[in-house]
Amino acid sequence: MSSLSETEFLYDSNEGDAGAQAAQDRLDYALGVFVEEFRTNALRNLDRVDHILGELPEGAADAPTLQSIQAILSNLAGQGSSFNFDLISELGEMTCAFLRGRIEGSSVQMALLSKVTEAMRLVLQQDVRGSGGLTERALVACLREAFAVD
């Protein structure tokens, strides 16, 4: 039994070209809904991270807190690549690697995390797909250096 593509599944052959276009429109609409849902959830997850960071005593975090933040960002990174938000995925993965490293959870490191969530929020709100342009690549380079030093 042959499998149907997404467009074929939505396509009524009796409708001819108009049916094909209508099927494509329905598919585009459905994908758009999924993407919007991802962006909404991603922004909520960034809110969760910011809330955690805002509640830290004297701005410093312990190991369980760092793991909680890492779990949120890891999930966000995975979903980002699925929806063509490669930059979000890259920033998330970079930050997770930072959290998995020799980080002790100092207030400066947590302030750095706060800047990461701010940048990710800007990227999501601007709906930047793919890996971004010059400014976004400068951000990645900036963070790569910051994560290597701090």
Partner 1 sequence: MTDHSQTKPRTGVSSELTSVKGSQEREYHIALDRVMCEIEALRGTAHPRLAFVEEWMAS
CB of residue 71 vs partner 1: minimum separation in angstroms?
23
C-beta of residue 93 within 8 angstroms of C-beta of residue 85: no
CB of residue 95 vs partner 1: minimum separation in angstroms?
12
Closer by beta carbon to partner 1, 23 or else 119:
119
DSSP characters over 59-127:
G---HHHHHHHHHHHHHHHHHHHHTT-HHHHHHHHHHHHHHHTT----HHHHHHHHHHHHHHHHHHHHT
Closer by beta carbon to partner 1, 17 or else 102:
102
**Interior angle at CA 99, CA 48 and CA 118, nearest 5:** 45
Q: Contact residues for partner 1 (CB under 8 A)?
A: 108, 111-112, 115, 118-119, 122-123, 125-126, 133-139, 141-143, 145-146, 149-150
CB of residue 136 vs partner 1: minimum separation in angstroms?
7
CB of residue 53 vs partner 1: minimum separation in angstroms?
14
Closer by beta carbon to partner 1, 22 or else 140:
140
Amino acid residing at 59: G
